[in-house]
Structure 1
Amino acid sequence: MPSETLDQFLQHNLQDLKDQGLYNEIDPVDGANGPEITINGQKLINLSSNNYLGLATDDRLKEVAKDAVNSHGVGAGAVRTINGTLDLHVKLEEKIAEFKGTEAAIAYQSGFNCNMAAISAVMDKNDAILSDALNHASIIDGCRLSKAKIIPFEHSNMDDLRQKAKEATESGQYNKVMVITDGVFSMDGDIAKLPEIVEIAEEFDLITYVDDAHGSGVLGKGAGTVKHFGLQDKIDFQMGTLSKAIGVVGGYVAGKQELIDWLKVRSRPFLFSTSLSPADVTASRKAIDLLMESTDLYDQMWENGNYLKAGLKELGFDIGQSETPITPCIIGDEKTTQQFSKRLNEEGVYAKAIVFPTVPRGTGRVRNMPTAAHTKDMLDKAIKIYEKVGKELGVI
């Protein structure tokens, strides 16, 4: 017999989430995840994808992925440390290092895996981690796994970071102290104050770690937040994904050769999980080549982002303090946010509601991400639908 205790737990808590407007419905997409998608037979303008540059459906990536399957098969066949490191993995890691301006790089199965792997490979119970209060869940979980003392600092508050760095380093309690931050904060679209963080890190000898999942491809002419500020030689860990702007799947850490050598022998997801498939590796390398050869997609994404921002702001929507194409429409109340997203969907725009625990309670929002693949006509239609639904629900 199934456990009655488990049944009661699930029934009670699922209903509780639904009552609070916190239950997330998953909407399977029929076909590719492009600027327009089809869900349940309805064609929708897609503003919820992290496919920032439209590369997930790019024909050039498709072709090299097919070639890789034909030459190397559909899977790597083993973990990296046995015989799952193909020549394709080496070429990808060399390309990432060139792209990020570092000595070396290591590829993982996902961005989440990167943070679980890299933080705990270097930090332990005798150390401390200064973590921005709005850091991504994968950073939080990676810090927890390390068993280091986690010391949160107020979001992008450099005075608070300096004070806590001073306290941590002068206490004599910790062998090492790391400061870790997102490069671009995915729910608000603001950029970490990396120059100030580096200044504080140098003052107190902090290890620096930047999660650039939402900055790679989006800042620094595509090379990311660290390149945006010209700090490639100042940041110890540059972490990023291959699943957002790059359009495929996976993650990586870039840094000094000795750091990458250490991660290859001490980061558990690298050691104990089969490596990325040949198609994914090859498509990712092609995407990086495209970004290094031209800024056309990058420029188009920014043009579209600025266009949507201006349109929504003019209508009176609260778009927060975003400094990137990520454009939140902050509604506040969770149930209203869910209703707002549902009505957008019914009118032809797919823009997902983001509520607690992804964002703090009372700050529910619909997160919009215009990509390089959107046309002005699509964005104009989306803005008109936003106006209709916003007035209908009293949001504007």
Structure 2
Amino acid sequence: MTYLVNGDPDLARIGERVVDIIASRTLYDTSYLRPDSDFEADLGIDSVIMESVLASVREHFGLAATGLRSGPATIGELVAAVGAAVAGASGAGADSASASVAGSASAAGGASAPAAESAPDPVLDAVVTAAMRQTQYQRHQLPSDADLESELGIDSVVVTSVVAEAAERLGLPGGTTPDEIRATTLRGLADALRRTTPSSGPSGDHRPAGPGAEAGTPPAAASRAADGWDDRSMKDFTEQRDPDLFAKTRSFAAYLRSRERERLYWYGMPLHSRCANRAVIFDELEGRKREFLMFASNNYLGLANHPAVVEAICDATRTYGATHTGSRFIGGTNMLHKELERRLAAFKRRPAAIVYPGGYSANLGAISALVKSYDTLVVDRLNHMSIVDGARLSGATRKIYRHNDMADLERVLSRSVKEATGGRLIVADGVFSMHGDVCDLPEIVRLAKAYDARVLIDDAHATGVLGARGSGTAEHFGLKGEVDLELGTMSKTLAGMGGFVVGEEEVVEYLRYYSNSYVFAANIPAGVAAGLIASLDVIEAEPERVKRLWTNIGTLRDRLLEAGFDLENSQSAILPIVIGDERRAMEMGRAVRARGLFCQTVVYPGVPLGDARLRVSVTCEHTPEDLDLAAEIFVDAARETGVLPPAG
């Protein structure tokens, strides 16, 4: 694509592209980006984001890596600098670019489409513009007919936001229709939006609502069944728009109170005891304490209540105090943190480890530090939300492959090699937290080598569960040393708080200096670090805990399968009872709790709409009697709610 007209830079077209790039990196609407907008004072663009913008501009216009280093202060100055660089590369003088920038850049400000490349389609343009803001892609990176997931990395959550924003631009009613949910391309989304209301003309010329249009589209009105059931889900409140920022909170509060009155939402009830195979929980809806058979804990090896772990925490807290009030670089490193990292590396049998304040921040920090806007992230469709958010924070091109589908992964990798010049990182959960199945690590490693990609595996639910020693997915498959980075959280099996990444020493040292969630956050207290070290001691000294866990998993899994439940392809301590319908899942969860068992009822956004389930977590502390009673409760509750047919 040329940006010269008769040897001079076409500043109008250059301006359009520059504005698109800035919008994709900052999520500003293009109409807000004027030529005189100051990057810092008006747009709040700091030096880190600015470098990302400049890198994308250099890549798009084919400029030298040393170009545009002067740091233009406004959008107009950046357009002029690009024009001069383009002209200089072609042998034309820079003076003409600078002289005409004011008028041409003004034409570029707020531009949102290439100059007359095809007949305008306002609906498709609104969808593409919304997708730019929601994904940080540039316009040329969003082909209208590319697959949303595998080629563009746009998942169902992002699609919801794209549709809502495009509908607002077009003055259409809010709410996502089934057609939009099924659409697989941006053009498909546009076609679905066109079907939501009658067009104003034969060409479907929808026009954005003007300044006088009513502000703030409320969530879709509740559709009541004959029995009064409110069929909305949490999805209906994610994109409510209103001049009052808190309007959505009032709408959701009314919905939440109704779900709680019906005993369907039971999240966040406080424990009044240790969390073991049984736990006392204060039922805030009934105003009383109740003892439950506990199948919602990630305390897989029972270490949270182990005397050695508890005592280590108490001793270290007495010695070092409650906390250290600083980040690892500034007064926040204790000798116990160094020892914990050494022990984690040894446990995982990798050269080095870095400890983050949490597992979520480990994914955010590691991914955003290593992967940049010119790189590609290749992710499983069902990865944990911390991986999704890390991908968004990095600004990288994100490609999604179908869950555990290695043929699709190879297709995505093959395309990424042809389309991108940067690096590639494949990221997958070791154990998928809402499904319980295990990634196909042997194939992931093989394909990574074939397509020159790196691999990060999130072992949050695999550490302490998979492998003979409980060290995770790589050990489970006999691939120690073959996975570039293994990430984990210490709030589950290891019975503490924090997250970690293990890998080669040079990579770990890089993360220490470039992971913002490590550099700019306070670390875990010394007492917690001491407890984690003690947990590793117990795992290594008592391998029978892992064996007992797997005996319990097999026992309950067999009972549930025999009863006719759908457990998908669970191969871990997480047993999903898949129900699908959100109402029925919540009603079964209520029936289970009424019988004295507590497990997680998972609905949107924990899983996509239509994929609701109960999530059952097994630990080594469950007794044979616990497992028998649990199976009986699940069957009785399922028959009561119609998930299973009546007995007989």
What residue is the counterpart of 1:44 in the other structure?
A: 292
Alignment partner of 1:362: what SS?
Answer: coil
Choose which of 272, 286, 308 in structure 2 pairs with 1:30: 272
Deviation by residue 1:44-72 (Cα, 9 ceiling, x = unmatched) = 00001111111111111001111111221
The 2-side partners of 1:315 and 1:175 are apart by: 50
Query: Is 2:408 the counterpart of 1:160?
Result: yes
User: In the alignment, which residue of structure 2 is the partner of 1:10?
Assistant: 249
| Structure 2 residue aligned with 1:188 | 435
Q: Distance in 2 between matches of 1:349 and 1:199?
A: 43
Q: Which residue of 1 aligns with 2:466?
A: 219
Give how far 1:170 is off.
2.2
Q: Does 1:126 align with 2:126?
A: no
Question: How far is the alpha carbon of 1:285 from its aligned partner?
Answer: 1.0
Q: Distance in 2 between matches of 1:250 and 1:306?
A: 30
Aligned-partner SS, 1:275? coil
CA distance in 2, matches of 1:320, 1:253: 29
Opposite residue 440 of structure 2, the aligned amino acid is: K
Larger Rg: 2
Q: Which amino acid is 2:269 matched to?
A: D
TM-score when normalising by structure 1: 0.96
Structure 2 counterparts to residues 82-231 of structure 1, below 5 A: 82-171=330-419, 173-221=420-468, 222-231=470-479
Distance in 1 of aligned mates of 2:402 and 2:520: 35
Query: Which segment is superposed worse, 323-332 or 129-138?
Result: 323-332
Q: What residue in structure 2 maps to residue 67 of structure 1?
A: 315
Could you say which residue in structure 1 is the equivalent of 2:482?
Answer: 234
Partner in structure 1 of residue 525 of structure 2: 277
CA displacement 1:313-341 (0-9 Å, x = unmatched) = 11111111101121111111111111111
From 608, 614, 617, give the equivalent of 1:366.
614
Which structure is richer in relative contact order (CA contacts within 8 A, separation 6 or more)?
1
Code of the aligned partner of 1:359: V
* Contact 1:20–1:334 (8 Å) recurs in 2: no
Structure 1 residue 7 displacement after superposition = 4.1
State the TM-score, normalized to the length of structure 2: 0.59
* More off after superposition, 317-326 vs 143-152: 317-326
Higher mean C-alpha deviation, range 331-340 or range 252-261: 331-340
- What aligned pairs does 1:287-306 form with structure 2 within 5 A after superposition? 287-306=535-554
* Distance (Å, rounded) in 1 between the aligned partners of 2:423 and 2:369: 13
What is the distance in 1 between the residues matched to 2:586 and 2:398?
33
Following TM superposition, by how much is the alpha carbon of 1:11 offset from its aligned partner in structure 2, in angstroms?
A: 2.0
1:24, 1:313 → 2: CA distance? 26
Q: Does the CA contact (< 8 Å) of 1:128 and 1:174 recur in 2?
A: no
For each residue in 1:2-56, what CA deviation from the matched residue of structure 2 results, as whole angstroms up to 9, or x when unmatched? x982343212244456779996632111122211111221110000111111111
Equivalent in 305, 325, 328 of residue 80 of structure 1: 328
322-331 or 101-110: bigger deviation: 322-331
| Equivalent position amino acid for 1:193 in 2 | D
**Per the alignment, do residues 159 and 19 of structure 1 end up closer, same or farther by CA in structure 2, a change over 3 Å counting?**
farther
Aligned pair in 2 of structure 1 residues 153, 20: CA closer, same or farther (>3 Å)? farther
Is the partner of 1:185 in helix, strand or coil?
Answer: coil
Q: Give the aligned length.
A: 393
Q: Mean Cα displacement is larger for which, 274-283 or 12-21?
A: 12-21
CA distance in structure 2 between the partners assigned to 1:48 and 1:287 by the alignment: 20
Checking the alignment, whether the CA contact within 8 Å between 2:584 and 2:643 is kept in structure 1 is no
Question: CA RMSD, aligned part only?
Answer: 1.7
Q: Sequence identity of aligned pairs in percent?
A: 34
Contact 1:326/1:369 (CA < 8 Å) preserved in 2? yes
What is the alpha-carbon distance in structure 1 between the residues aligned to residue 401 and residue 330 of structure 2?
A: 41
- Residue of structure 2 in register with 1:267 after alignment: 515
Residues 307-386 of structure 1 mapped to structure 2, 5 A cutoff = 307-386=555-634
Does the aligned pair in 2 maintain the 1:20–1:335 contact within 8 Å? no
Alpha-carbon distance between aligned partners in 1 of 2:257 and 2:453, rounded to the nearest angstrom: 43
C-alpha distance in 1, partners of 2:604/2:385? 12
Q: What amino acid is aligned across from residue 9 of structure 1 in structure 2?
A: K
Unaligned ranges ≥5, structure 2: 1-241, 283-288
Which letter maps to 1:190? D
Q: What amino acid does structure 2 have at the position aligned with 1:145? A: L
Counterparts of 1:19 and 1:346 in 2: how far apart (Å)? Answer: 18
* Secondary structure of residue in 2 paired with 1:25: coil
Q: 1:208 to 1:4 in 2, by over 3 A?
A: closer
The amino acid that maps onto 2:446 is: E
Query: Structure 1 residues 335, 277: CA separation in 2 closer, same or farther (over 3 Å shift)?
Result: same
Bigger strand share: 1
In 1, Cα distance between the equivalents of 2:278 and 2:446?
43
- Rounded Cα–Cα distance in structure 1 between residues aligned with 2:397 and 2:257: 35
How far off is 1:76 after superposition?
A: 2.3
